[in-house]
């Protein structure tokens, strides 16, 4: 399988549904953290994507030479929001998710996820990112999620 054959989707990472404010998400903090953690990253305010004009942040982070990951973070309400990585393989999304879990959110057990593939197939259940483990373990979790949607 080549990189072009890998299934790509948008992954959404968010705090637990029953504790939506658990991250206390502030987009200015997220932008600063992304720029510090990923040299060469770019962040910009995304415009009017929600009820608040400052409620969206777009970003690009370099993963490898010539490989970039695009993302979008939104906060429809102060302190409440999600972070998405777009058109990503499970392995690419896992690299960002590992950083998000270990370096940004207040506790590693506060990251749930879903994907565009699952939502398009009517599956609105949230997976739980492993609270510990390697990038490969996270990639396996995300790939199992993709495979469970009927896409392999």
- 150, 121 Cβ separation under 8 angstroms: yes
Q: Which helix (H) or strand (E) holds 64?
A: strand 56-64
Give the pTM: 0.90
Q: Tokens 């999304």 label which residue?
A: 93
**Residue 126 C-alpha from the chain's centroid:** 13
Tens digits of pLDDT across the chain (152 residues)? 335 568 899 999 999 999 999 999 999 999 999 999 999 999 998 755 555 556 799 999 999 888 899 999 999 888 999 999 999 999 999 999 999 999 999 999 999 999 999 999 888 889 999 999 999 999 999 999 999 886 64
* Cα–chain center distance at 31: 14
């Amino acid at each position: 399988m080549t990189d072009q054959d890998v299934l790509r989707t948008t992954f959404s990472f968010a705090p637990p549904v029953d504790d939506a404010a658990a991250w206390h998400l502030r987009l200015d903090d997220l932008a600063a953290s992304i720029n510090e953690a990923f040299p060469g990253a770019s962040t910009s305010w995304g415009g009017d994507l929600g009820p608040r004009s400052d409620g969206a942040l777009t970003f690009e982070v370099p993963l490898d030479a010539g490989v970039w990951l695009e993302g979008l973070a939104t906060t429809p309400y102060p302190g409440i929001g999600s972070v998405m990585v777009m058109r990503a393989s499970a392995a690419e999304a896992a690299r960002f998710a590992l950083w998000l879990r270990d370096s940004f959110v207040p506790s590693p057990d506060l990251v749930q996820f879903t994907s565009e593939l699952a939502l398009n197939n009517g599956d609105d259940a949230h997976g739980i990112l492993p609270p510990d483990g390697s990038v490969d373990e996270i990639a396996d979790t995300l790939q199992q999620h993709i495979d469970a949607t009927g896409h392999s």
